[in-house]
Structure 1
């Protein structure tokens, strides 16, 4: 599946991320569920209270369908509604699905001690990420005590091409799978440092595969340098990446590569031994 970039429309709301659908059996496919999840995805793309009109504009559903979906999700307690502002918001119950995913993913629990060890060695923020479409998603995290990095939390999603963990994963996918994700993708500049040239990006991926780690310098976030190494699971397939993220106020790319990349590579190697025990669908 290929994740399309979110876009902001005239109303100032972001369209939810969308994926190319696989071949589906129309006899089994429920369009009503698709509409409900589309509305929930709209709140993920716009993490703030929204009116019916805003949800309709962002999701692309007409107002009548949007109203029915909002009413249903409110009745099921996935949304709350303010009678004063007439805005809808995600409820605390919406966290249940994400929490269930983290609890059901054995790799998250099994590798957490290794994140702690990497944090202890580096005294910096350490993350575990997975690839979803053309994005990476942060699924586990041990923050640095000395640097506040509130812009990233569990569940944060970033374009893989502009991040060290994304490149570490992409570099170790099979060529067919990697090309399906990247060949038809665009690479907008997230910062002035983002690599947007397709040929240069593929060269960075080849380099990451050869070295065993990737480095990104302020390409997704200004002031952030990250180094990452791939985590391999069952059948030696890449399943995640571990990365250490630091501030440019205290680190240079050269220092990160010399001192932190070896830590990520070794921790990823240890994690791979654990992750290879779990066969995931």
Structure 2
């Protein structure tokens, strides 16, 4: 289970911790685990870092961190400045993420539908998947006035506090939803963020009944978001469509009456598309 990043005492983010499935120690390579941990550390801290900072954020000792950094630099996944003695992700590090997007059939198949939702709403439309306790933006059509300028492809946000996250959580098996909420860091992001687990479960039940979610400024001040789930192969929830709007131009009631029907309609159409793709 992926847990949201936490701040260390040095102002660094710890990388997301991922609970491993049952592993066969005869096949499991700890050296690769350390390498991925260092890459995750750069994902959690998207800026140049020194050896000391990488070691502190990753939890590796300095000697292990140095060997991993050297190897990743030799493989051109990291660059190193002799002046600042800092390491940074290289352009090659982008290849893995974009290869995933290119191999995900839903990204390409959904784009005409996202464009249509954008045409109808004139607002930013996103396709979002669930990964552990986070949502990840995998496709995006910006509106004329982009509210969520901090959001880009690959951006992660806590699922519990977002409309697409709640749209998906509401349609998972109850025990899976409970597990995700227990693993989530239910911390307030804005003064509007709902953090009580019982309140969240009650809200998720309403989302399941309505068929869509609306979140009012719980992740970003001034951002009202509505989302509906996509159901894929075997009628399992696989993603969500989301429209983000500005509270300066939209009210909750107006979003519900005008934008929620758009995301619901597009999500139904995309569910027909997604159901054709068996899970990997």
Alignment TM-score > 0.5, same fold: yes
Within a 5 Å distance, the mapping from 1:256-275 to structure 2 comes to 256-275=255-274
Counterpart in 2 of 1:115?
114
Within a 5 Å distance, the mapping from 1:30-41 to structure 2 comes to 30-41=29-40
Within a 5 Å distance, the mapping from 1:1-281 to structure 2 comes to 2-147=1-146, 149-281=148-280
After superposition, the Cα gap between the structure-2 partners of 1:198 and 1:42, relative to the gap in structure 1 and judged at 3 Å, is: same
| Shift in Å, 1:147 | 2.9
Residue 49 of structure 2 aligns to a residue in which SS?
coil
| Shift in Å, 1:8 | 1.4
Runs of 4+ in 1 over 6 A off after TM superposition: none
Measure the CA separation in 1 of the matches of 2:152 and 2:121.
Answer: 19
Q: Where in structure 1 are there 5+ consecutive unaligned residues?
A: none
Aligned residues: 280
| Shift in Å, 1:184 | 4.5
Asked whether the 8 Å contact 2:211–2:264 carries over to 1, the reply is yes
Measure the CA separation in 1 of the matches of 2:208 and 2:182.
Answer: 18
Q: Where in structure 2 are there 5+ consecutive unaligned residues?
A: none
Quick check: 85-94 or 138-147, which moved more?
A: 138-147
Quick check: 180-189 or 135-144, which moved more?
A: 180-189
Measure the CA separation in 2 of the matches of 1:20 and 1:130.
Answer: 19
TM-score by length of 2: 0.98
Measure the CA separation in 1 of the matches of 2:125 and 2:264.
Answer: 13
Measure the CA separation in 1 of the matches of 2:145 and 2:220.
Answer: 18
TM-score by length of 1: 0.98
| Shift in Å, 1:148 | 5.4
Residue 266 of structure 1 aligns to a residue in which SS?
helix
After superposition, the Cα gap between the structure-2 partners of 1:9 and 1:184, relative to the gap in structure 1 and judged at 3 Å, is: closer
Asked whether the 8 Å contact 2:234–2:275 carries over to 1, the reply is yes
Measure the CA separation in 2 of the matches of 1:45 and 1:227.
Answer: 27
Measure the CA separation in 2 of the matches of 1:243 and 1:180.
Answer: 24
